[in-house]
Amino acid sequence: MTDSNAPDALAEKQTERRAQRIEQVKRWAEYIQSNPPDVWGEQLNTLVDDQLAAARKAGLPVEDYERVEQASEARKIDIHGPQDPE
């Protein structure tokens, strides 16, 4: 006999996690709307840098790493504007 409740439990868990992610996105949106980019921009950069470091340790293929790094650089430009090369 199989456990017919297993698919329902999985669907329920997925729904709950999705709701949690949406709530986190809403909190982040409220935070960035109520704080200047100078405050949250550095926090976002730290998060992205940590994700890149984790990707390096995970042995991410070069193409995927470069795609993530390019997105990170684009985000820095969006937040802080273009930087003059030194």
The pTM assigned to this predicted structure is 0.51
Distance of CA 73 to the CA centre of its chain: 14
Domain boundaries, the chain: 1-34, 36-86
Q: Mean pLDDT, to the nearest integer, of 6-32? A: 91
Give tens-digit pLDDT for 50-82: 988 887 788 778 888 788 888 888 877 666 666
From residue 86, alpha-carbon distances to 19, 42, 49, 75 in Å are 45, 20, 21, 20
Angstrom distance (rounded) from CA 76 to CA 51 = 15
CA atoms of 1 and 84, how far apart (whole Å): 67
